[in-house]
Each structure stands twice: as C-alpha cells, then as structure tokens.
Amino acid sequence: MIYGLLVGVILRYGIPATSYHNKTPPSCSLKEGPASTLLLNVSGKFFEYTLKGEINSREIHNVEQNDMLRKVTFDPEVFFNILLPPIIFHAGYSLKKRHFFRNLGSIITYAFLGTAISCFVIGNLMYGVVKLMQVVGQLTDKFYYTDCLFFGAVISATDPVTVLAIFNELHADGDLYALLFGESVMNDAVAIVLSSSIVAYQPSGTNTHMFDASAFFKSVGVFLGIFSGSFVMGAATGVVTALISFFDFTKLHCFPLLETALFFLMSWSTFLLAEACGFTGVVAVLFCGITQAHYTYNNLSEESTKRTKQLFEVLHFLAENFIFSYMGLALFTFQNHIFSPIFIIGAFIAIFIGRAFNIYPLSFLLNLGRRHKIKGNFQHMMMFAGLRGAMAFALAIRDTATYARQMMFTTTLLIVFFTVWVFGGGTTAMLSWLHIRVGVDPDQDLHKTKQESAWLFRLWYTFDHNYLKPILTHSGPPLTSTLPSYCGPLASCLTSPQAYEVSVHTHFQNSKHGANEHTLYLVCLIFYIFLFTFGQSHAGCSPVSILYVKLS
C-alpha cells in the first residue's frame, strides 16, 4: 500500500504533461445518464465506444495531457474477473476445517445476519449524515437512500488479513481465528450479493428511490436466488473435479503437471460459468474452493497436493498485494475524488456502530445456545478486527459513474487506509491487553471438535464420513461397511481399492494404539500389586481397587 502511494505521487506530480492539440470536446445534454456504449457512424463505418467513466471538468485538459495516468488506471472489472477469484478461492481452499466447522453456526450468523444488520445500520446512519449535509449546504448533487444502503453493503465487507496473519504467526486461539477468518470469508460473499440485490431494487411508481414492499421482497428473492445458485454451482464443480480425479481410468495421478493444470482450470471455470449464468462468480469460487479442499484434495497425487497449495498461495499473495498497491495508486490517479469531511467522519462513526450492532447482540444470542461460549475478550477482539480491505475497495471502484458513488469510493479508500494501518498495526498490543492466549498448540483440543460441534454439523459429519467421502474420495470407510447389506453389489462398485487399504491401515493403527493402552494398564496393575504385596498401600484402600476405579 505504501509502495502504491509513492508510485502514485511520482506519476501524479513527477511526470511532465504532454501537449494537447485536440479541440474543445463536443457537448450534448441527456435527460438520463450516459450510455454504457456508443455507436458512431463515420463515413459509413460504424465504430463502437465504451464508457470509461466521468472526467472532472476542471481537470479535463490535465487528464488528456497526461497519458501515464490513463495507462495506470485499470478497468474495475479486472479486479472482479482476474484478481478477486484467486484470493477468494485460496480462502476456501486453505480453510482450517476443524475449527471452522466447530463454529459454523456462529460464523454463518455473523456473516449473514450480522452483515445485513451492519448494512442497514450504516445505511440509515449515513442517510442521516446526507440529510445533515443538505441542511448545511455541503451536498451538491443527488444522494438517495438506496445509495446509502449500497454504501452500507460495500463497507460491511471486512477483510482482517493483517490481523489473521498476526494470529497465524503468534498461534492465537484457534476458535477466535476461525470466527474471524470464517466471518470475513463468508461476509465477503454476502456483501457482494447484498450490494447486487440493492442495485436490483426497483420500486414501482415515479419515485424510484423510496421504500416499496414488493420491490424489497423482490430484492430479497434476488439475494437468495443468486447466493443459493452460486453455492450450488461452486459445490457441483468441486464434486465433478473430485470424481474426475477419483476414477483410476483417467490416470491423472501419473501426470502431476496435467493434474494440477486441470485442477486450476476447473476451479477457474467455476467463476466464468457462474458469471455466464447470472450468478456471482466470487461466491461460486469460494464454495468450489471449500469443496475442492474437502474432497478433491484427498484424490490428488502427493506432488499435486503440494503444487496446488503453492500455486494458489502464490496467486493469492500476488493478487492481494497488487490490490493494496493499487489502492495507494488510486488515491492520486483517480480523477473524481470527492472529499467531504462530514461524510467521511460520519462514515467512520457509522462503521464502528454497525460493527458493534453486529458483534455484541449476536454474540449474546449465540451464547444462549453454545456450550463453548464466545468470551467477552473474544467479542472485543472481533469488534477491533473489523478491518476493511480488498473486497470493499473492489466493490466501491466497480461503479464510480455518479456523484454519490464517487464520494463513496473516496471515503472507502480512506477507511481502508485507516483500518489497515491503525487496527492492523495495533493487533499485537490488543491481544496482550485483552489477555487472549497465544502460542496455542493447534492439535491440543482435537478430541473436542466433534463433541462441541452443533447437532446439525454432527449429523452432516456422520453422513459425509459414511457415504459422501467413500463415493468421492479414497478416504473414509468402505461403502460395503456403511451401506445396508442389500446394497452390497452397488457398494462394491463404488468403493475404490484404495479405500480398503486406508480402512485396513486405520484399523491396524487403532488396534496398535489399543494394544499399547492395554500393555500400559497391565504394567500399572503389576506395579500396584507389587506395592500391595509389600504393604505400601495407605488409607485402607487397595491400589488394585484404585486402579479398577481408574480404568472404569
């Protein structure tokens, strides 16, 4: 980000302007907004022009003179179609499933209900700020209620990448890490679909920016339809990839490079397919990543597992760093910044209030049904870690055609800078101040995962372990041992030979572990009998009886 700021300063103020020889631009008046494309007939030949965005009238000659500024300004769709997919896919593919699924109910609550609460709280507070700006004469163009809700959806997308990196380095509490990471991943997906639903909000009548019940429920339907469709498409692509790598006749495991390439292309095609079908590609690629990690990863060869992990880790690192660098660049190269002190201060206050309405009430309600409570210091840390980042920036820069959207983009940029630098930099001190444990062994509470999970997840875990994993992967128990006896022929056809080998190996390890335990008990028994024989027992209680109670 700092690198982008330095480059932006050099490009904006350090490069001399070139000469400008064209005439004054032609003028015309339109009742509605400008068209996205323009067809121009020049001597019988048609030329198509696309809308690049609005240019500030005060700086139109400066923009045309400086070719470099236009060259370093990217099409906003580049972020959504090229840079965001590897970031989101890596989030799903590198998911720490154990803690994530143990807290799945809480994560979904924060991501769906919490993001909606944050969106409406911020939107309504900002609508009050806009009305205040109208009163004091600081608003020079139209700014509707739907614009405020759109800003609420955009700025509700959290991205605590700095906080999570510090958590990972210090080995902070696994449940807190899972809550923050899971919420940020799911929250990004919800924010994208929520912003699209608000854009699709079209009330009937003359005033298209007032509340309309039918249009509201239509937007809710759009939200549910897009999200569920994207989820199904992403999961289905992951299952198809798992089946391709599952069957031995494909011989993919013999060609690790081809296997890795196919894995990458199938994952990327999920995004393109979802966009082509009218869904959200970013959401689809997230659930594709989760499905690939859960099923396909188990079928890959050892070399391909390493390659896919490293490939998406590098792509994620490059894309995220490029976006943060471009943020610094955009502060100087974007030509239509609108800095409104009232709007900016109001936005900072609104995001803190919206985050508080998200975390504290929902945590209280979740703790009513959780056996493993979300402690107060966890809640404070989640409140503190609500950084804004790449997703909020990408959503804001996607549409800067109007006065309201330009003001939103400028404010979003400043919020991202502030939260990343101040909150990200203060994470270590906040962990110490809140007495959150660090240096935690990630495997120390492995045995608690299944017992502390919600009953719905335990039901899903049983179904997945007994039926889905044996069908889609080489791990899990053979279907011949989980399906009813009358399904024996079908179970034999669907179970791979590797599954039998894994089952035998697991049974051998369990038997070996059990034999070691019995040997230990036998040694203890002999030792206690020896003490008892030589009169070393105390308090009138035989060590043999103590051992019996202990073993029971």
- DSSP per-residue letters across 25-43: PP----SSPPPSEEEEEET
Integer Cα distance of 173 and 103 in angstroms: 13
> Per-residue pLDDT tens for 303-351?
999 999 999 999 999 998 888 888 888 888 887 889 999 999 999 999 9
Which residues are CB-neighbours of 288 under 8 A, at least 6 positions away? 89, 92, 234, 235, 237, 238, 267, 270
Gap between the Cα atoms of 348 and 351, Å rounded: 5
Check residue 467 and give its pLDDT.
79
Note the CATH number of domain 76-446.
1.20.1530.20
Whether 206 contacts 217, CB under 8 Å: no
Contacts of 22 (CB under 8 A, 6+ apart): 64
Please state the φ and ψ torsions of residue 189, each to the nearest 5 degrees: -65, -45
CB 226 within 8 A of CB 196: yes
What whole-number distance in Å separates Cα of residue 404 and Cα of residue 425?
A: 31
% of the chain surpassing 70 pLDDT: 73
Q: Which amino acid is at 380?
A: H
Task: Give φ, ψ of 37 to 5 degrees.
Answer: -130, 155
Q: For residues 122 and 124, give the distance between their C-alpha atoms in angstroms, rounded to a whole number.
A: 6
Q: Fill in the DSSP letter of residue 423.
A: I
Q: Are 240 and 266 in contact (CB under 8 A)?
A: yes
Distance CA(545)–CA(392), nearest Å, equals 65
User: Among 136, 154, 134, which Cα is nearest to 144's?
Assistant: 134
Q: Report whether 227 contacts 431 (CB < 8 A).
A: no
Distance of alpha carbon 339 from alpha carbon 345, whole angstroms: 11
Residues of the chain with pLDDT under 50: 19-21, 64-65, 504-532, 534-552
Q: How many alpha carbons fall within 13 Å on the CB side of residue 145?
A: 12
Using CA atoms, how far apart are residues 145 and 127, in angstroms rounded to an integer? 6
* Per-residue pLDDT tens digits for 232-252: 999 999 999 988 887 776 778
Of 69, 59, 100, the residue nearest 7 (C-alpha): 69
Amino acid at 488: G
- Helix/strand/coil percentages in the chain, nearest 5: 75, 5, 25
Q: How far apart are CA 257 and CA 267, in angstroms?
A: 15
pLDDT of residue 452: 53
pTM higher than the cut 0.95? no
- Which of 219, 91, 221, 99 shows the shortest CA–CA distance to 159? 91
CA dist 539 and 335 (Å) reads: 87
Strand partners, 48: 39
Quick one: CA dihedral 463, 464, 465, 471, positive or negative?
positive
For the chain, how long is the longest CA-to-CA vector? 116
Look at residue 547 in the predicted model and tell me its pLDDT: 38
- List, in sequence order, the alpha helices (H) in 157-212: 161-170, 174-199
Provide the pLDDT for residue 449: 52
Rounded distance, CA 329 to CA 334, Å?
8
pLDDT at 521: 42
Distance CA 271, CA 286 (A): 9
Q: Which of 322, 342, 483, 503 is closest to 410 using CA atoms?
A: 342
Which residues are within 8 A (CB) of 437 and not within 5 positions of it... i.e. 6 or more apart? 172, 173
Give CA–CA dist 16/66, Å, rounded: 8
CA dihedral 469→471→475→478, nearest 10 degrees, is 110
pLDDT score, position 69: 63
Both tokens assigned to 194: 């929520």
Q: Over the range 475-488, which residues count as b (16 or more CB within 10 Å of their CB) and which as e?
A: bbbbbbebbeeeee
**Residue ranges, CATH 1.20.1530.20, the chain:** 76-446
CA–CA dist 437, 431 (Å, integer): 8
Do residues 331 and 412 lie in contact, with contact meaning Cβ atoms separated by under 8 Å?
Answer: no
CA–CA dist 488, 479 (Å, integer) = 8
Q: Which residue has the tokens 């992403």?
A: 234
Smallest CA-to-CA distance from 121 within 360, 317, 333 is with 360
Q: Count CB atoms within 10 A of the CB of residue 137.
A: 7
Nearest to 370 by CA among 94, 110, 95, 96: 110
